[in-house]
Amino acid sequence: MCGIFGYIGHQSSLPILVEGLRRLEYRGYDSTGVGLHDGETINVHKTVGKVNNLKQVLPKEANATMGIAHTRWATHGGVTQENTHPHASYDGKVLLVHNGIIENYRPLRAKLISKGIELQSETDSEVLAHMIGLELENGASPQDSVRNMLKRVRGTWGICVMFLDHDLLLCARNGSPLIIGQGDGEMFVSSDPHPLTSHTQRVVYLEDGDMATVTRTSIKVASKQGRSIQTNVQTLEDSWAESELGDAPHYMFKEIYEQPDALRHCITGRVDREMGTGRLGGMRLAHSTLVQAPHVRLLGCGTAAFAAEIGQMLIEKMARIPAVTHIASEYRNNDPIINTKAIYLAVSQSGETADTISAIKEIKLKGGQVFGVVNVVGSTIARLCGQGVYIHSGPEQSVASTKAFTNMVGALTVFSMQLGRSRNMSKEQGRELIQQLQQAPHLMEAYFEDVGPIDEAVDLLANAKSVLYLGRGLSAPVAKEGALKLMELAYIPCLAYPAGEMKHGPMALLEEGSPVVVVAPSDHLKEKTLLAIHECKARGAKIILIHEKGDAIAEEGDVSIAIPKIHPWLTPLLTVLPLQLMAYRTAVRLGKDVDRPRNLAKSVTVE
Ligand code: F6R
């Protein structure tokens, strides 16, 4: 969602800000703008649409060494130039970019209007700029004016503020991430680590409630109350640097094909072949917790929730204790009962999903222990949990998640083994699983050498009114993930059901030629899935079948796509690959924006 980038230093700020915006594009946005301070004046340039559109309205050169920039994903007010950030105060002395939502903006707005201030936009963010302006006019310092303003607002924010009469940037965070990159005689502000890596590896993560004064040579962090806080400079992970598109046609294509290496990265050094167990050091799980935990709860949204559902089944299979997945966006609102002895896992690629963060806070408030299963190092969820496992997918830039899904499944498999071995699972069973898990990246590569008749599947999907996805057991969440991918990329309505549920309703959708995607690896449920295939075929449906190589079930598909054979508990790592490719190629065929599907954002930082 919205992205912030700021610069104060000795270089021309304009190209740095534009490059920062470009690197934030993957988060999803619909308009963009920059504000430049040349020591005497502030100039603002904004446009609806992409950063490339903005380039057309920018000056060729600008003599400004300070500036702030923003990509906006509309929440309050339509996608218009007026609503695009940065927003200026009534007197032009304050310029502000904001991520998050100001809940009480209506009364604040009314108050400003009663004071004769004319608001230029419909946004909640603009009120903040005017409120700071009024404080400054009353003689407050930049820091106090921001602080006093923040005392009167409710909601979430990551803000970066520039002042006409002061040579500094002020940043504040509450619920929307902000990171400050420390250079030599220059500083950078960003809402995620990705745009910082080309400038510096030294960063300061702001915590909720923090406010930072950023000059060319210093970063001073203080609390809401003005108490100074030790500035903790951390080093960014190198892998964030490897995120350029290169020769690939789209990020999604690149990321699909990165899955074998990403999975290797995720499992390497985390399994003990001798003992047949997983070893997740970062979880810091006490032996007593492993042995006594009454149950496991997993939380996530979208793709992360589907990976969690697979993790849930693996935990139950390996550790024989109950595990349940919850959709994080629902969790907090249902006043959940927290067992302080249970293990809670928060699954998230970005580590910034607002719904998942709310769920974690609810669990922690009630005394529960939450472990993060997260991709982005140093992200809010990783820091909020303080313990957990990084899935190490590397940067995922396509809005549609692919390699994070398989690595979430990989990490949850290792966790299930660790839990299972501390309880019921035998060493032999653990060893066999490790051997197969270590084979999985090779098997992914083998599949990519011959992906099967994906284009024939696309022929059936591209013009479909709707598509039904079916699977059973571990393949049910894989079916959901496949449906989500096609729906979000190609805008085709898709339904995913456990195959047995098909006759309880969804079957009414089937007509002559309706495509049905069936995930049917050679596990103990295959014969039952076959029944559903026959029921669909009897109603004229065309079956796109994902099956294991050499299995006679292949004959049942109108289009049959073979994946290599693997342990039945690890099939999701392979069955999802053709589903990702089918969604990708359908979207390409339909001319859709594969990496930036409409209305969607990569980091969903508002509830
Ligand atoms: C779908 C997709 C989303 C995310 C969801 C959670 O392709 O990417 O459904 O999975 O928004 O995001 P994270 O994993 O960042 O918490």
Q: Calculate how far, in angstroms, residue 255's C-alpha sits from the geometric centre of ligand 1.
A: 15
Give the pLDDT confidence of 61-96 residue by residue, as tens digits.
889 999 999 999 888 888 999 999 999 999 999 999
**Ligand 1 pocket mutation pick from 251, 350, 486 by most atoms within 8 angstroms of CB:** 350
Q: Domains for the chain: give ranges and CATH numbers.
A: 3-240 (3.60.20.10), 243-449 (3.40.50.10490), 451-607 (3.40.50.10490)
Q: How many helices (H) and strands (E) does the chain have?
A: 18, 27
Report the C-alpha gap between 575 and 406 in whole angstroms. 10
Report the C-alpha gap between 173 and 224 in whole angstroms. 10
Per-residue model confidence (pLDDT) at position 401: 97
CA-nearest of 607, 44, 122 to 355 is 607
Per-residue model confidence (pLDDT) at position 75: 80
Positive or negative torsion for Cα 462, 467, 472, 473: positive
**Could you tell me if 337 and 364 are in contact, meaning their C-beta atoms sit under 8 angstroms apart?**
no
Positive or negative torsion for Cα 34, 200, 157, 52: positive
**Ligand 1 pocket mutation pick from 353, 409, 488, 580 by most atoms within 8 angstroms of CB:** 353
Report the SS3 class of residue 21: helix
Q: Whose CA is nearest to atom 3 of ligand 1?
A: 302
**Could you tell me if 331 and 357 are in contact, meaning their C-beta atoms sit under 8 angstroms apart?**
no
Q: Calculate how far, in angstroms, residue 10's C-alpha sits from the geometric centre of ligand 1.
A: 38
Q: Between helices 302-319 and 475-490, what is the axis angle to 10°?
A: 170
Report the C-alpha gap between 498 and 486 in whole angstroms. 18
Q: Whose CA is nearest to atom 7 of ligand 1?
A: 400
Q: In the block, which residue shows the tokens 């069955």?
A: 575
**Could you tell me if 469 and 566 are in contact, meaning their C-beta atoms sit under 8 angstroms apart?**
no
Q: Whose CA is nearest to atom 10 of ligand 1?
A: 303
Q: Calculate how far, in angstroms, residue 43's C-alpha sits from the geometric centre of ligand 1.
A: 36
**Could you tell me if 382 and 585 are in contact, meaning their C-beta atoms sit under 8 angstroms apart?**
no
Q: Whose CA is nearest to atom 6 of ligand 1?
A: 301
Give backbone dihedrals phi and psi of 378, rounded to 5 degrees, phi first: 80, 5
Q: Calculate how far, in angstroms, residue 393's C-alpha sits from the geometric centre of ligand 1.
A: 14
- The set of catalytic residues is 2, 602
**Ligand 1 pocket mutation pick from 380, 489, 604, 605 by most atoms within 8 angstroms of CB:** 604
Q: Calculate how far, in angstroms, residue 602's C-alpha sits from the geometric centre of ligand 1.
A: 7
Give the pLDDT confidence of 330-367 residue by residue, as tens digits.
998 899 999 999 999 999 999 999 999 999 999 999 99
Per-residue model confidence (pLDDT) at position 448: 98
Amino acid at 260: P
In angstroms, the Cα distances linking 343 to 69, 109, 154, 324, 365 are: 41, 44, 32, 11, 15
Measured distance between the N- and C-terminal CA atoms of the chain, rounded to whole angstroms: 11
Residues of the chain with pLDDT under 50: 241
Residue 376 CA, closest ligand 1 atom number:
15
Pocket, ligand 1, Cβ cutoff 6 A: 301-304, 348-350, 353, 356, 400-401, 484, 488, 604
- 504 Cβ contact partners less than 8 Å away, ≥ 6 residues apart: none
Per-residue model confidence (pLDDT) at position 26: 81
Q: Calculate how far, in angstroms, residue 237's C-alpha sits from the geometric centre of ligand 1.
A: 21
Per-residue model confidence (pLDDT) at position 503: 87
Amino acid at 169: L
The tokens describing 564, both together, are 């290599």
- Whether omega before 260 lies within 30 degrees of 0, making that bond cis, reads no
Positive or negative torsion for Cα 241, 247, 252, 254: negative
Residue 356 CA, closest ligand 1 atom number:
16
